[in-house]
Amino acid sequence: MTGLLANKESEIFMESLPLELSNAIDRELAPLHPDRLRDACFELSNRYSRESVKGPFITTTEHRHAYIAARLPATYGAMRQIFRRIEAHKKNVKSILDLGSGVGSIAWAAKDAFPKLKSVMLVEEDLELLRLGQYLTDIHLDPLQLSWCHENLIEQEGFPVHDVVTMSYVLNELSPHDQLVLLNKAYLAADQLLILAEPGTPQGFANILRAREFLIKQGAHVLAPCTHNNTCPLAQAFHDKKDWCHFSVRIPRGKYHRRAKAAALPYEDEKYSYLVVSPMPLPTPQSRIIKSPILNTGHVILDLCDETGAHRKTISKSQGKIYRAARDAEWGDALNPSDFEGKE
């Protein structure tokens, strides 16, 4: 490992929970026995990672506590980073519909991310999760208007139209058929954007790939992470079990997060896959970095994806400003070919 790479690792930006949310979680978890919290977290993590589990992953009070200790920070961090990837499309968003909202992490992630946001409707089938979400948010998100709805996503005929519709870590709990049923209703309710997030596992990407293909057939325009509506350049590699499209966000572990996972490190890296589409054509970048940049002495290697496919670009130190820009680029950043064609 070069010194340059070591410096890069030390500067990785962390997506931290808001202090009010972190304190509310601590108050909720303080009375719990550490061993019970750790066991519940282990069980919940196994359910998220196993491809054979269908239906709700969170089924007990212990699961709910494990979720807010370990999974809520990860969900919040992933969504905050996704919101940063669509900066050009956030300025006119005033309302969000979050389907499968859990305890409302989307509302926390969106509050400061969308400058004109006024209201969030949170739809959740688990009544106890909904109540826990109401407790955690309390008055902390004022003046944002929150509407909590106890509904079954599949049984609902449709949803009211909002500027943005979000679904985070929802598709992985549904059968392929129910995924498409819900995606259709979600897309019809999205006036500007539909945002999906899934675990950054092969199964999570399979759900995103299925959603991408379905939504394009419905007339959707892909905005991120893809920069086009063509066949996914990584689809064949995925089917050959060689690669899949995913990204990573670093999140700090609070006291109960570390306790729940019996972890020594003060942070963890959450892998996720995501998709952002719009019912209307909108400007997109020309390429995106799809793997962690490789920083070596005198050059940077970037893995890029665009409408022509996935390819590797080497930027040398002799390229001056272009090299410095590439050195500072991060996994998931959008780039244009022109970024590498200028001169010092």
pLDDT at residue number 344: 41
pLDDT at residue number 254: 82
Mean pLDDT by runs of 10 across the 344 residues of the chain is 35 81 91 86 74 67 89 94 95 97 96 95 95 91 95 95 97 95 98 97 95 98 96 87 92 82 84 97 93 92 92 90 87 78 48
- Specify the length of the chain in residues: 344
First-to-last C-alpha distance (Å) of the chain: 28
Task: Supply the Cα-derived Rg of the chain in whole angstroms.
Answer: 20
pLDDT at residue number 49: 64
pLDDT at residue number 55: 61
Q: Which residues contact 185 (CB under 8 A, 6 or more apart)?
A: 153, 156, 157, 158, 159
Cα separation, 256 vs 253, in Å, equals 8
Alpha-carbon torsion angle 313, 317, 321, 322, nearest 10: 0
Between the alpha carbon of residue 153 and those of residues 100, 182, 185, 207, 214, the distances in Å are 7, 7, 9, 17, 18
Q: Which residues contact 97 (CB under 8 A, 6 or more apart)?
A: 120, 121, 123, 159, 160, 162, 164, 165, 166, 189, 190
Domains and CATH numbers, the chain: 14-284 (3.40.50.150), 288-340 (no CATH)
Cα separation, 29 vs 69, in Å, equals 8
Strands 95-99 and 287-289: unpaired
pLDDT at residue number 340: 58
Amino acid symbol at 31: P
